A and B are shown apart, each in its own frame.
Chain A
Amino acid sequence: METATQTDPVLRVEGLSVAAGERAVLSDISFDLHPREILAVIGESGSGKTVLARALASWLADPLRVTGGKILFRGKDLVKDPALARRLAGREIAYVGGNPAGALDPTMTVGAQLVEKLRAVRPDISSAEAKRKAIQLLDAVRIPAAAKRFEEYPFQYSGGMMQRAMIVDALISDPPLLIADNITQPLDVTVAAQILKLMRDLNHQFSTAVLFICSSLPVACDASDRVMVLNQGRVAEMQPPAALIRDPQSGYTRKLIAELPRLWDETTHAPAEERGAPVPVLSIRDVAKAYRIRRRGEAGLSVVQAVRNVSFDVYQGDNFGVVGESGCGKSSLMRLLTGLERPDHGEIVFDGADVGSAPASKLREMRRKFQLVLQDPYGSLPPQWPIGKILEEPLKIHGIGSAAERRERARSVMNEVGLPDGYYNHLTGGLSAGQRQRLNVARAMILEPRLLIMDETLSALDQTEQGKLLDLFERLQAQHGFTYIFISHDLTMVRRVCSRIAVMYLGEVVEVAPNERLFFDPGHPYSRALLSAAPTLEDRRYRPEDCLLEGEPPSPIDLPPGCAFASRCPHAFDRCRRENPVLVNRGGRALAACFLNEPASASLENAHA
């Protein structure tokens, strides 16, 4: 690495073109990458980002192939010399992908695979030396108890830890070039923020040049020294982040920046809090659900507390949001709300009746009034059924109307959600993800429910499609008076749509507040941490350095006493580790579960806000 000076690029790409058959995927890409530099590549899906990453890693699969240009790694052309490219793979040019979950062999320990990889590219290193280095690096990426974790299997790692392990895997051979392809994509925002920080640190420590591929402009700008914008396989422009935001050169970049939703912009349209009459449609009181699981190597069962002490009301015409990171109990809560599972205690009152204890026949009747729309646009629709049949099924189940009336009804909801009438007899195979979610919404609303529960309904869709569906939801709400519950991890979506928002952490609701209040005056340190980690180009109201501690949520098994967030909270004090705070009214229908909100410590809270 000493040989590479600041003037010699590690990687120089000249006029690189890649095609799939006859269709050009990348055209005439040129850039330099210097040691210690982080170059971000951004663009929407289909812009060729991942193809570029794979071309540089010499990992193009049929029908993709390089049709022109050079990839010069320290002056040697990898396109001309595939044998050299193969030798460099994993040793000099490291790659980290966006899917850490399946990246290692599930049947071998993480440590064994790290050693195997290092010894595969550097046979001169002994096993003991490789192990020492692996543990040292696991420690460097802040995996707790690295020596113990070294002996564990991939399935015992969480997503965030696995991504750290993959970064170790990439860096263990001291590569001068690291290709990071969407590495924060599957991670929760607070974990993603840590990974980005980690990558920056490591980049300084090991002088690695990083090509950082990413689909979010804010993340790219946060992480890099220069940003390259790709549009339909061509370089739209390349600038340092600050200049790019201030003075975008291409129309495409300007459009990207303009489309970005903003969290704190005063002009952001946030739904007013009290739209309907203050009559609760759904009232949840002190609901809890625990699952009993068997853990390997242990006698007896462990208790996973998936949902604890959850209480809130959803009012007629509300857009109620439930946000939180993966594993916080959002989906368990959804299963309880829809009666798919029964709570251990507490009640879920919908329309005057308790969903949690209703007998099966009553529950089916009640389900006409509350419907669920799921996240996965593919798995949630039967592939062998024509669209009309899918839509008529709920009517049949509830014995509504004659065959002709049902068909009429199906056609009318198709029209309402914007599916062409001609699709009535089509199978779902040809539908896009957005159309599938429209169909899912149509299926849910054909029974004319009062409440629609949207479990991550929009997360599989891109920005543009999300916007169209949100408009649709708004129109349907105006026409039918629906009440929505949006379960989501996406703060910008929630900011745009929801009137009131509940924040969940480790199975508990830690804060319930109206939209404006949550984003401008959050009452719980975890809400602040979430806001501080949200990807946005705006000036942050909450800085990650102040709000975010290292680490991931503790396991919901064997919870410690006291506040669940205490282990990651920068403000935690003795009392937080002894007793668990309950939701306390902060005025204006905003509730938060934090001791800092108590009058005695109010001054302390102000100091940190």
Chain B
Amino acid sequence: MFVLRFLVRRLLQGVVIVFLVSALIFTLLRVVPGDPVRLMAGGMAPEALIEEIATEMGLRDPIPVQFARYIGGVFRGDFGQSFVRPASGAAVGGASFDDSTRGERARVLTLIAETAPMTIQLALLAMVFALMIALPIGIAGGLNPGRWPDRMALYLSSIFVSLPNFWLGIVLALVVSVKWQLVPSIGYHGFAYTILPAFVLAIEIAPFLIRTLTVSVSGVMAQNFIDIARVRGLSWGQIVFRHALKNASVPLLNLLGVQFSMLLGGVLVIEFIFDYPGLGLLTINAVMQRDFPLIQGIAIITAAAFVLINIVVDLAATAIDPRLDY
């Protein structure tokens, strides 16, 4: 009953949020300079032709009208077609303004459906690596505040945070893939290609997780019920694993939700460097090509993903700590 009410309320809120995000993205895309028709038709196309194409595509209608038309499609599950990408594959350039194959442009939803699983796989593996690094370091730091594990956690976090991800990506690709030939990278021809970019992302995320863990574990360890648990006769293991970590996990869970959302929405640099065919790479290309429908589609889908992840995180947090009532 509680869960049902919670889900209904949060999903309704989510629909509103996604709607607002799409309206914002839609408007901004049309307000900023850069005419997609000019890019599609090419620099040499005559002005009259550009106007003709633009009008035909509805790009000269008032923005609210365009938005209404677009959002109507979205509610029917139609995110429109890419301006630039043909259904067959590679992006087309600007030279061929007398393009007769407009009908065969790729559908936005198809493009996203092809790339999103790749990014989800990358994000999940990155989270797993990040937790493998952060859990032991962070918990040890939190259990020994002020002593060497705590300081080590701080120093390691500082080092991780100061490594620029593009630099680390390039160095690891050079050393691990090219020189040592341990795992492949650049492009994607199988799961192994996910490992290196995921590791680079994990190094980027780990400091935040470590910091949150040390703070929340040491905070919980200082609480009365932990202090008194020993006098009540509980063993150290019971105190730490059954009580301290459970209580400390809620802030970590919230952070994981945020980090996972960010990974889904914006691993632009890493996907670009490793030429990893995920949402990030798709986004970069879409932006560079002024591919409005694709950018909008990606924005709406990631916004929806943010909303869903948040709902899952809050639900999990309530399951851990029944005092929380979202």
A interface residue numbers (CB < 8 A to B): 57, 59, 89-91, 95, 97, 99, 102-108, 116-117, 120-121, 153, 155, 169-170, 173, 294, 296-297, 299
Contacts and interface: CB of A to CB of B under 8 A. Distances in A.
The 4 closest A-B pairs by CB, nearest first: A90-B233, A102-B224, A121-B233, A95-B231
Contacts, number: 68
A117 B225 contact: no
A153 B324 CA distance: 12
Nearest to B324: A107
A120 B235 contact: yes
Nearest to A99: B224
A588 B286 CA distance: 86
A88 to B, nearest CB: 9
27 contacts: A59-B230, A89-B230, A89-B232, A89-B233, A90-B232, A95-B232, A97-B224, A97-B228, A102-B225, A103-B228, A105-B246, A105-B247, A106-B321, A107-B246, A107-B321, A107-B322, A108-B243, A116-B234, A116-B238, A117-B232, A117-B234, A153-B322, A153-B323, A155-B323, A296-B325, A297-B1, A297-B2
B223 interface: yes
B179 interface: no
Contact of B232 (A106, A108, A169): A169
A158 to B, nearest CB: 15
A169 B1 CA distance: 33
Interface of B: 1-2, 5, 223-225, 228-235, 238, 242-243, 246-247, 320-323, 325
A117 B233 contact: yes
Contacts of A116: 234, 238, 242
Given A116-B234, A120-B233, A297-B2, A107 B228 contact: no
Nearest to B1: A297
Contacts of B233: 89-91, 117, 120-121, 173
B156 to A, nearest CB: 27
B225 A106 contact: yes
A95 B5 CA distance: 42
Contacts of A91: 233
B234 A90 contact: yes
A121 B325 CA distance: 34
A106 B247 contact: yes
Nearest to B238: A120
Nearest to B242: A116
Contacts of A170: 232
Contacts of A117: 232-234
A325 B247 CA distance: 32
B5 to A, nearest CB: 7
Contacts of B230: 59, 89
A235 to B, nearest CB: 24
A169 B228 CA distance: 12
A189 to B, nearest CB: 24
A61 to B, nearest CB: 8
A356 to B, nearest CB: 31
Contacts of A173: 233
Contacts of B224: 97, 99, 102-103
A95 B233 CA distance: 10
A90 B233 CA distance: 4
Which one of A59, A107, A173 has the highest number of Cβ atoms from chain B below 10 Å of its Cβ?
A107
A174 to B, nearest CB: 13
Contact of A120 (B2, B234, B322, B325): B234
B93 to A, nearest CB: 58
B231 to A, nearest CB: 5
A105 B220 CA distance: 10
Nearest to A57: B231
Nearest to A173: B233
Nearest to A61: B227
A108 B225 CA distance: 12
A105 B229 CA distance: 9
A63 B86 CA distance: 74
A371 B85 CA distance: 71
Contacts of A103: 224-225, 228
A421 to B, nearest CB: 39
B134 to A, nearest CB: 22
A120 B239 CA distance: 11
Given A104-B225, A106-B323, A107-B321, 5 more contacts: A90-B231, A108-B243, A117-B234, A296-B325, A297-B1
Nearest to B234: A120
Contacts of B322: 107, 153, 155, 296
A299 B232 CA distance: 39
Nearest to B320: A107
B234 to A, nearest CB: 5
A105 B241 CA distance: 12
Nearest to A294: B325
A121 B230 CA distance: 11
Contacts of A153: 322-323
B252 to A, nearest CB: 14
Given A102-B224, A102-B225, A107-B247, A296 B2 contact: yes
Nearest to A169: B232
B225 to A, nearest CB: 5
A173 B228 CA distance: 16
A426 B235 CA distance: 47
Nearest to A101: B224
Given A99-B224, A106-B225, A106-B247, A299 B5 contact: yes
Nearest to B2: A297
A57 B242 CA distance: 23
Contacts of A106: 225, 247, 321, 323
A165 B223 CA distance: 19
Nearest to B228: A103
A600 B231 CA distance: 58
A558 B99 CA distance: 73
A120 B228 CA distance: 14
A105 B234 contact: no
Nearest to A104: B225
Contacts of B325: 294, 296
A296 B3 CA distance: 11
Contacts of A104: 225
B322 to A, nearest CB: 5
A106 B5 CA distance: 24
B239 to A, nearest CB: 10
A243 to B, nearest CB: 33
A109 to B, nearest CB: 9
A565 to B, nearest CB: 31
A155 B247 CA distance: 14
Contacts of B243: 105, 108
Nearest to A59: B231
Contacts of B234: 90, 116-117, 120
Contacts of B235: 120
Contacts of A99: 224
Contacts of B229: 105
A106 B324 CA distance: 11
Contacts of A107: 246-247, 320-323
A598 to B, nearest CB: 45
A296 B2 CA distance: 7
Given A89-B233, A90-B231, A107-B322, A102 B223 contact: yes
Nearest to B223: A102
Nearest to B325: A296
Nearest to A97: B228
Contact of A89 (B5, B231, B321): B231
Contacts of B321: 106-107
Contacts of A299: 5
A153 B230 CA distance: 20
A437 B1 CA distance: 49
Contacts of A102: 223-225
A95 B228 CA distance: 9
Contacts of B223: 102
B237 to A, nearest CB: 10
A354 B281 CA distance: 66
A296 B1 CA distance: 10
